[in-house]
Amino acid sequence: MNNDILAQIDSLPPLPQTVVHIEEYKNKADKSPKELADIIGADPLILSTLLKVSNSAMFGFKKRIETSQMAVSLLGVNFTISLALGSAIKNLVETSLEPYGADSEKFLETAGQAIVMASKLANEIDPDLRDRLLLPTFLLETGKFIISRIIKEKDQVNEFFEEVKISTNIADIEKKYIGVSTSTVTAAMFEKWGLSQTLIDDIKYADEPANPENKSLLVSQIIHIANKVCNIVHPFKEEAITEAIEYAKANNLKPDELAKIINEMKAKLEE
């Protein structure tokens, strides 16, 4: 990893206390939904972001979610934890995503879409993986904030965007410009913050699940599929959908069920 990336990661501020409290809560054997709602409700910025994501079209709740208690009740504890941690970390590193032609709203929108897709696909392949997949899927793209800073510092925003906007393999463009892809940067960020090794391992190889060092193959494969379809530059692009279904077919990952999930999600977004 080059010195520009390492310098950006080293300069990251410590995690806010709310994240520490959520991490402690996450590791408890008995999880009280009210306790989680109280933790989130005490942080207005995280609560605001959580409610914004929860009320997006992708979740399609008939009742508007207006409190942390409602979020926990309707989304469930594990889903809420994933969204809350993702919101906190996004708020901590947020910067312009101009090199990707996006902003923080698009980041939250596509991350929300990705966890819905990963969750649905996990239910078809291995339901026991569903809860484990939520957090790495939602947080995977966090590294793009660091990459964006570096691309802007190098004054390469326009040429970078010209390439990513026509590619279905954004990771390859990132490697071309800075030597590594988002998943590697995100994993390094989480190592800096001391987050769980399982989370780091699940994210590290999402851009290249077949890496021989990957010990979380199935998890990485599902995240890879969800991220390919729900990517921040061009979500639900037909070429990306085709590639995702072909990848699922080649790896025996329920391609027919994936196609059905994608069509259902597209229909919901078009409502």
What is the tally of structural domains in the chain?
1
The 3-state DSSP class for residue 102 equals strand
Digitized pLDDT (tens) for each residue of the chain, 271 residues in all = 788 888 999 988 888 888 888 888 888 888 889 999 999 999 888 888 888 878 877 677 778 888 999 988 888 888 888 888 877 887 788 778 999 999 888 888 898 899 999 999 999 999 999 989 988 998 999 999 999 999 999 999 999 999 999 998 999 999 999 999 999 999 999 999 988 899 999 999 999 999 999 988 999 999 999 999 999 999 999 999 999 999 999 999 999 999 999 999 998 887 7
| Residue found under tokens 């570096």 | 150
Please, are residues 248 and 225 in contact by the beta-carbon 8 Å criterion? yes
CATH of the domain at 61: 1.10.3210.10
| Residue found under tokens 């904030």 | 145
| Residue found under tokens 């469930």 | 76
| Residue found under tokens 């966090």 | 142
Residue 255 in tokens:
């391609």
Please, are residues 153 and 270 in contact by the beta-carbon 8 Å criterion? no
Residue 122 in tokens:
């996990």
Give me the pLDDT at residue 27, please: 81
Give me the pLDDT at residue 74, please: 83
Its domain, for residue 224, covers 3-95+102-270
What contacts 88, CB < 8 A, 6 or more positions away? 15, 16, 18, 19, 22, 43, 46
Give me the pLDDT at residue 16, please: 84
For the chain, first and last CA: distance in Å?
Answer: 43
Q: Is the pTM of this model over 0.85?
A: yes
Name the residue type at position 147.
I
Give me the pLDDT at residue 160, please: 97
